[in-house]
Amino acid sequence: MNDSTARAAASMYERYIACLNARDWGKLGDFVATNVVHNGHALGVDGYQSMLEQNYRDIPDLYFQIDQVVTNEGQVASRLRFDCTPVDRFLGVPVNGQRVIFHEHAFYTLREGKIAEVFSVIDKAAIEAQLKSDR
């Protein structure tokens, strides 16, 4: 590992997040491996795109903001912040159009410079706490 490989991973990751925020699905394969696995599910790049499209249907104002990122040549770890309005249930929580702020912590394993495996955890407890405090 050295500075330049870690920086290359960080740069790829920033462009990947920009791709998601632009909903530029035609470029998704530039960042995501064809056989990508997400939380143990072998989605492939098409399934990965379907997952993201569903995310945008569930949360029309979804926007990915990188709060903290740690990279080396083969891995990216990212703390992502969301400030958004899920229209219905989200993670089983009845958000129903309320604005919520929460984080996702994701670990990405890279192969040949692309995202090959993702493990993601979303702070469901934080979402639940915001609903409780407003009711």
Which residues bind to a second copy, rule: CB under 8 A? 1-3, 6, 68, 70-72, 75-77, 79, 91-92, 103-107, 109, 119, 121-125, 128
Give whichever of 7 and 23 is closer to a second copy, judged by the CB atom.
7
How far is CA 129 from each of CA 55, 65, 94, rounded to the nearest angstrom?
21, 21, 12
Closest approach, Cβ 113 to a second copy, in A, equals 16
Distance CA 36, CA 127 (A): 28
C-alpha to C-alpha distance for 130 and 2, rounded to whole angstroms: 41
What are 117's two structure tokens? 């495996």
Closer residue to a second copy in complex, CB, 6/52? 6
For residues 52 and 56, give the distance between their C-alpha atoms in angstroms, rounded to a whole number. Answer: 6
- Quick one: 28 or 76, whose CB is closer to a second copy? 76
Q: Compute the least distance from the CB of residue 9 to a second copy, in Å.
A: 10
Minimum separation from the CB atom of position 51 to a second copy (A):
15
Q: How far is the CB of 26 from a second copy (least distance, A)?
A: 29
Smaller CB separation from a second copy, 34 or 68: 68
8 Å CB contact between 123 and 106: no
The owner of tokens 């997952």 is: 51
Q: What number of other Cβ atoms are within 10 A of residue 67's Cβ?
A: 11
